[in-house]
Amino acid sequence: MKVYFDTLGCPKNFNDSEMAMGILEEKGYEIADTPEDADVFIVNTCGFIDDAKKESISEIFRMAEQKGKDRRLIVSGCLVQRYPQELFDELPEVDGFLGVNDYDRLPQLLDQLTKPGAERFVVSNPCDLTAIEQEHRRLPENPYTAYLKIAEGCDNACAYCVIPRIRGPYRSRKPEAVMEEARRLAEAGCRELILIAQDLTYYGTDFRGKPALAELLRSLCRIDGIQWIRLMYCYEDRITDELIQAIAEEDKICNYIDIPIQHASDRILSRMNRHSTEASLRGTIDRLRNAIPDIHIRTTLIVGFPGETDEDFDILYRFAEDERFARLGVFPYSREDGTAAAEMPDQVPEEIKQQRLDSIMMRQMEISLENNRSRLGQVLEVMVDETDADGSCIGRTRYDAPDIDNSVIFTPLREHRPGDIVNVEILEAFDYDLEGREV
């Protein structure tokens, strides 16, 4: 039997799909590259914010139209974990629903589903407090860059976020399990490890009583074959001196860190139930930049949180302007069922959210262009991601994560494949991309 996976959402979802594929292959199932070749479709959904929910529902309907009467359609992931019974009742064209904690049951459920007279099912169990391991993870043909999930769930109770309800409490993976998976990735040809969790900086606190990310990073740096290690989703209030020192001292750790700041107004940060203040944010950024002058900080901001006034927004705008982040994403607040923020008064109108978003992003575009122009004439390490039809290559520097950050388009000296790391002289700079030639 052939199974096709259609994955939406964040890197954690893609990691889950690779794990589910590995579980199925271990039991004798085949993974199809296209829907046309499959007997079963699995849509792994995102249910984080309203736009993601709409995209997931649209994709479910699209796949339902393709399945016909002889194929089966299963919907899995965060949307199912969040709304299991509602989806079961409202989407009769779907044969089964599976939550985020139940992929190990997938072979058994598929076997039952393909028997004559099989009934539709919904399985969405709560978290069992054990971290999901990845022994059977299925990797792409050339996994030169790979996400490495080091923890599951979240203990932060941010007022706008449903992740703790979907993914459960924070559970760190055992260091030896993380190391073993990293070695398998390196043996398969991985050169770039991108560490992910809801909060990397909380890693180890649940089993050590204190953060253990710095220690884990130094161990990962000893693995042969791995050349870049990238950190995503580090909370400001847990960025320790030990972590900063590890980034500064270890050449394999990219001078890049993703810190989801969300806001800079103390009043809004408090309403969000965040543990940072404007002063602590500025202090941590200064600590990073003093210890690692070349550090590139990526962050995300939320505009239009309930009660956000013009004064609160001005604080946020000035903060982003002062700090001149290398990489910045801004999102309008999304009112989500079951969150504390959804019940707050003073919800901000959508048009004001959009105006505030546009205002910050217009300024950030100018900052990004200025930052990129400072690279003119420099020679940078670039990892190749793809080759264009005209023979040029598209890649990324150490300061850019795949799919979300800047690209470098360059003229190569020879033929390259994804994962090659080459030196590129920067000749042109644009708002979010660079151009150059291999040297």
CA atoms of 416 and 394, how far apart (whole Å): 10
| 78 labeled binding residue | yes
| 234 labeled binding residue | no
| 190 labeled binding residue | no
CA atoms of 221 and 233, how far apart (whole Å): 19
| 161 labeled binding residue | yes
| 158 labeled binding residue | yes
C-beta separation of 40 from 2 below 8 A: yes
Q: Known binding site for [4Fe-4S] cluster: residues?
A: 10, 46, 78, 154, 158, 161
Q: Extract the annotated binding site.
A: 10, 46, 78, 154, 158, 161
